[in-house]
Structure 1
Amino acid sequence: MSNKQKSGSRRIYVNEKQRQFLSSTHKRRTFVGGRGSGKTTVAGHQTRVEMNYLPRAKVFLAGLTYTQLLSNTVPAMEGAWQAHGLREFDPKSGFGHYVKGKRPPSEWVKPYQAPSNYENVITFLNGYTVQMLSMDRAELARGGNYDGGHIDESALMKQEHVNKILRPMIRGNIYRFPDSPYHQTFCDYTSVPWMPSGQWVFNTEDLAKEEPDNYFFLESTAYDNVAVLGEKYLRDLRNGMTPLEWDVEVMNKRLTKLPNSFYPSFNEEKHGVWKTYTYTHDEETGLTHSIDSDRDPKRLLELSFDFNAAFTSLTVHQEHGNEFRALDALWVKQSDTTVLDALVEKFCDSYEGHERKELLIYGDRNGNNKQVGSNLTLYQTIQQGLAARGWKSTLMVQGLDPDHRLKHIAINQLLAENNARLPVLRFNRNKCKFLIISIQQSPINPDWTKNKNSEKSSIDQERATHLSDCFDNIVYRKYGHLFGQAQTFEPVYFLGRD
């Protein structure tokens, strides 16, 4: 939404909250905004302003992974740059204002401190340079020297990485930009955190109250950007979301911490792992592609199922020595066939490249019941679907479900990690976000059972207790014997390749 004036200047529409953020000259700024509020777009406007006033400066753009930055952040920022009339450089026509992932034309102005290579770097024709940093490899970002910095979805990052790695790298070069209010600006943009580890983003709010001349904190909802989104878009968005998702994702309401958890020993920082990707450089595009690094393609996988008509789910796991890893969480809510068949297909599509097509299957004991109108159990249906896609599977579900109190105690002893002889549980924080939320949002009843009211509410069901049930079913059946509970692990059915 821009139009060009006769003078040659360009008018760019921003909403009132974006205007407030861009008008601020505070060195430390935080923008907490709901979905559609324009927080990533405002990062594009902010870097465009910096480009104008800080030629030859180098700033960082940090995200949790390169995948996040390249797929979501940079395209939204480019939309803002293009509204200002900037275009990506075209080597055929020789026209353009910035290049991504490659060395800029030799005639362009060079930054004061040029990067050692231009992989994951965006360079503008006046030397203003944006270095992308992936914080799932935080140690590789150490030692840089930047004139400013930006973080997208900061609530996903560790506070330690922000305070000890990113902020200290904004230093020096004061003599080059002695009068610029934009030099050494540090901005972060994020949605309201779903998980406790992200609550640190509200520290800027407290600091802004104590030192209003040095800190700026801003909150925004999608309705602040209604002139761009339109009333119909917001009505349709609300109709398609649960009340909780609407409140948090769009209206920017903060979550409160759950006091009576079924998993009091779970600690997101201890049990969650961000470093689940390795990266390869694409010489043609100059950009980086991610590859799973926490999964060994030559080892068998283990699945755990939970069955519900409106939400059928599974979690994907793998043993690595003494470490039992939760790699992924998948689910299906509706399908043209059946949700169970669709879930099996979703898994097979997602793991088509896994070399060892062999599985152990865990889950809800009710899966051993025959389906209505069929001679097959749910697990037999799963195994047939897997076999059709080349997977050999062994069913590990026998007997009754465990006593709730014993299950609660055993799982929390594993999570506590007070016994070196017990296995260690780890969670892929990139792919198991909703499994972690499900664990964190699972209350306990006075009789030691898990409170499953969320499964009957209007809450988005990936945030209900289903996925945590998948976790319980596989962990207790695998490791309950370590706590004196008799577990039988003889396979019941064999289906698949010879």
Structure 2
Amino acid sequence: MYKMQNPKNIKKIDLTVPQAHAFINMKQKNYWEWGRGSGKSTGLAYGARKQVVQMPRASFFLVGATYSQILSRTLPSTIEGLEMFNLYQDVDYVVGRCGKKHGFDMPFQPPNQWNNIIHWSNGAIHQLVSLDNPNTGRGLNSYGGIGDEAALLDPEKLYNNVKTTNRAQKEIFKNCSMLGAEIYASSTPINKKGKWFTDIEEEAKKRPDLYYFSKSNAFWNPHIRKNWFDEMKAEAPSELLYNAEILNIRPKEITDGFYANLNPDKHYYTDHNNTYLETIGINLNKQGNFNSNQDNDVLHNEPLIVSLDFGVFNSLVVSQLNSNEYRVLNSMWVKSPKLLDDLFIEQFIPYYRPHQNKTIYLYGGHDGNNHLPNSHLTLFEQVRDLLTNHGWTVIIMSRGAAATHFDKYLLLNAMLKGQRNLPRIRINESNNSDLIIALERAEAVESLSGVDKNKKDERNKEFPQQHATHLTDAFDIPIVTMYNDLFKGSNAFASEFGIRIS
């Protein structure tokens, strides 16, 4: 790097003990389970810098779970971390284009396109690889790489799309300590899918010559201002999140789950419209860009199923039927002082503005049919009128009393298990992070009726309500309304709704 060779640009950077230990003990496989404020961005920037300085003109990977994640979170934090080492965008590197016209050297293997490339002035490149699009890593012959928010990565896709590309070597690099090195950093996972990341710790104990695993929290960081921890503890939605995100304490697993057959590998998916995301590129966060155009799983010419759970905490879940799959596309929520109207006006309506078929089948608890105080409208009718004023057609689908928790438990677990005469449940992982945590943490308790969903967290004001059972109720209602009679042997509801199960 030309700029780093200039003595005037030498900069002293104080490392934390975990950072220094990680840098000194760098292995071929490096996993850092570091909480917020522990210096992950600085550490990853140092790793990227060391790769580039040691191996000019070489190719590396920068991997994320989705292109959306890379553009909105990983890339900005990486750019900020690089500035700590006097490496600046459009000076030492360019993003999304070739730097040849700026006098940059060219890599050994120039890519066919540059829109997902960080091009360094000494010819090295980092290729942005999103695991939801295997084409982004196609043809890559890498000498190493980095991954942020690693607990979100799918380990099978990581192996197939990234790890297998880390095979390049040249005689001139044979003594480089970073040759083939991979660095993955993440705070501790709070859902089941991230468990693979923490499981690496045991592998590191068995093979310390190949693996380095580090755990740290922000108490090691002397640069955090004095009252930050007290503020984070006071403002944390729950002790669980404070412990996981700040203290790096792994959450206790739920053993008696209400959704006992929920399996991340079987039921979660990602399906972004990466062509759209690549077109808007680093402008992803500009107003109006972040909408349903980025979702490749939405049938834009088909109605949406919207289910509500309302109260002080208001939430909704958006779904669609797609052949023999019941797809949970999205979920949204607001808490007091914001109201249900705010949920639709600020989130749902802008996000689904590009949707072509503006028809909604509206579900929710049966108490939504009660008239509101000082109004002739029910809650459902109020929502219907609001959406109608924004160009939507709303069909209210709420029917009678709610099914028992035991009915829900039996039906949902039969569907999650894959009962043949019922559709398969699939959940968009990128758009339903809070719903997924709520589903995974919902507990089942025995009752006189059989099994109930434990609602204790809804009554706990200290618990983050987006991770309580509100969203799970919105998830349940349309499924149970549409399929419970079919599950029990009656096709009455299936006929009424025009449902055909192949």
State TM-score, norm by structure 2: 0.89
Residue in structure 2 matched with residue 38 of structure 1 by the alignment: 39
2:71 and 2:282 in contact (8 A); partners too: no
* Partners of 1:59 and 1:146 within 8 A in 2: yes
> Structure 2: which 5+ residue stretches go unaligned?
497-502
Q: Does the 8 Å contact 1:58/1:128 carry over to 2?
A: yes
C-alpha change, 1:205 and 1:285, in structure 2 (3 Å) is closer
Matched, 1:252 2:248: yes
1:261-301 deviation per Cα after TM superposition (whole angstroms, max 9, x unaligned): 11112111111111233323767978888721111221111
Q: In the superposition, relative to structure 1, how do residues 18 and 453 fare at CA in structure 2: closer, same or farther (>3 Å)?
A: same
Q: What are structure 1's unaligned runs of at least 5 residues?
A: 90-95, 492-498
Mark the CA change 1:344 to 1:221 in structure 2 (over 3 Å): closer, same or farther: same
Residue-pair matches, total:
477
Do the aligned partners of 1:32 and 1:39 also contact (CA within 8 Å) in 2? Answer: no
Cα distance, 1:49 vs structure 2: 1.8
Q: 1:461 aligns with which of 441, 462, 465?
A: 465
- CA 1:168–1:489 in structure 2 vs 1: closer, same or farther (change >3 Å)? closer
2:9, 2:189 → 1: CA distance? 42
CA distance in 2, matches of 1:97, 1:7: 15
- Residue 184 (structure 2) aligns with: 188
C-alpha spacing 1:284/1:368, structure 2 compared with 1 (3 Å): closer
Q: How does 1:292-331 map to 2 (within 5 A)?
A: 292-309=295-312, 311-331=313-333
C-alpha distance 283-368 of structure 1, shift in aligned 2 (>3 A): closer
Of 234, 245, 257 in structure 1, the residue corresponding to residue 229 of structure 2 is 234
Structure 2 residue 501 is the aligned partner of structure 1 residue 473: no
Q: Distance in 2 between matches of 1:465 and 1:385?
A: 26
Q: 1:325·1:427 contact (CA, 8 Å) conserved in 2?
A: yes
| Worse-superposed segment, 77-86 or 58-67 | 77-86
Q: Distance in 1 between matches of 2:390 and 2:107?
A: 53
Counterparts of 1:6 and 1:279, CA distance in 2:
43
Q: Is the 8 A contact 2:486 2:493 kept in 1?
A: no
Residue matched to 2:398: 397
Aligned to 2:133, what secondary structure does the other structure show?
Answer: helix
Q: Which residue of 2 aligns with 1:208?
A: 204
What percentage of aligned pairs have identical amino acids? 29
Q: CA offsets per residue over residues 404-457 of structure 1, 9 Å max, x none?
A: 2222111111111131x3211110000011111111111111121111111112
Paired position in structure 2 for 1:263: 259
CA distance, structure 1, for counterparts of residue 495 and residue 180 of structure 2 = 63
Choose 156-165 or 61-70, whichever is displaced more. 156-165
Separation in 2 of the partners of 1:87 and 1:284?
A: 22
In 1: Cα distance, 2:8 partner to 2:319 partner:
62
Matches within 5 A, 1:36-435: 36-89=37-90, 96-106=91-101, 107-138=103-134, 141-225=137-221, 227-241=222-236, 242-280=238-276, 291-309=294-312, 311-335=313-337, 339-345=339-345, 346-419=347-420, 421-435=421-435
Give me the TM-score of the superposition, normalised by structure 1: 0.90
Deviation at 1:87, TM superposition (A): 2.0
Match of 2:487 in 1: 483
SS of corresponding position for 1:468? helix
Aligned-residue Cα RMSD (Å) equals: 2.4
Residue 485 of structure 2 aligns to a residue in which SS?
helix
Aligned equivalents of 1:229, 1:220: Cα separation in 2: 15
Deviations 1:119-144 (A, max 9, x none): 21001111121000010123652442
Alignment partner of 1:147: what SS?
Answer: coil
Question: Could you tell me how far apart the structure 2 residues matched to 1:205 and 1:488 are?
Answer: 50
Deviation track 1:25-83 (CA, whole Å, cap 9, x = no partner) reads 31110011112222123111211122221111110000011221122112211122222
